[in-house]
Amino acid sequence: MQRTAIIGGSGLYQMEGIEVLDELDIDTPYGKPSDTLTLAKIHGQEVVFLPRHGKTHSIPPHKINYRANIYALKLVGASQIISVSAVGSLREDIAPGDFVIVDQFVDRTRERVSTFFDGPIVAHVSLADPVCASLRSQLQQACEQQHITTHNKGTYMVMQGPQFSTRAESNVYRSWGMDVIGMTNMPEAKLAREAEICYATVAMCTDYDCWHENEDDVSVSNVLEVMHKNVGKAKIMLDTFFKNKPKGKQACACHQALQHGIFADLKAQDDNALRPIHALVKRFL
């Protein structure tokens, strides 16, 4: 059983031609995920939708239970995750309404638990390239087929939130060479790598943050207006992605991320140590 997971707003679920199969109420060793998972079928492919902030958008970025979200997706057989995220632009040429298929992250969040391997079992996975190249390429092709203005790489600056940036912060991030800014994709991407799930982000630009002298500063009303249009384009992009996607599991190095990263003899560990990470390490036992 191999499924594609989509983490994003609940508005993505209202896609033409989608067949909803079930609502999955999942428990994990880390508590409940943000909401129930919606199991559906698109073009014959099984898809799991998870609203990152809950279906009523009641969970702020710093309160999301990222470990429960990723672990729940692992439990239901997700082999890849498409993160659909609203972001601000830090570059003149990335305009509101543009999509960016992110290839790098800079994590400036704090006090968010960012690993499943919290001891006594320790693991170190590579995050040199935190986004799955194959999944990125497929998403880029889907955007191009639908003539969505798309930037095929970019660095996503992940800020703590829930407040937007100060003008000084925004200009500092620009001086660092950051391309877009948002609040949610870390530690999400780190945890997906530890769970050996392919991960890619479609960053949908809604505003110019607050650095642009000729544009209004970012506000919720402005963001929502552009976001509504972006969601429509995201649905079209996802429909094309699943129409083109090969059926069956695709081999990828992401699925072997833990192969040489676990610093413990798992078979010598007791149940208390293994229970919270069992879904991640059971293939080694």
Whole-number Å distance between alpha carbons of 218 and 209: 5
Catalytic residue (choose from 35, 107, 209, 239): 209
Q: Considering 103, 207, 216, 271, which one is annotated as catalytic? A: 207
CB 194 within 8 A of CB 257: yes
Q: Catalytic: 22?
A: no
- Residue 187, preceding peptide bond in cis (omega within 30° of 0): yes
86 phi, psi to nearest 5 deg: -80, 135
Report the length, in residues, of the chain. 285
CA distance 93 to 108: 24
Question: Do residues 154 and 94 touch, judged by C-beta distance below 8 A?
Answer: yes
| Tokens of residue 75, six digits | 């439990």
What's the CA gap between 257 and 27, in Å, rounded? 24
Q: Is 207 a catalytic residue?
A: yes
Q: How far is CA 214 from CA 92, 129, 210, in A?
A: 11, 35, 10
CA 54 – CA 62 distance, rounded (Å) = 13
Q: How deeply is 277 buried, as exposed, middle or buried, from its count of CB atoms within 10 A (0-12, 13-18, 19+)?
A: buried
- Catalytic residue set: 207, 209
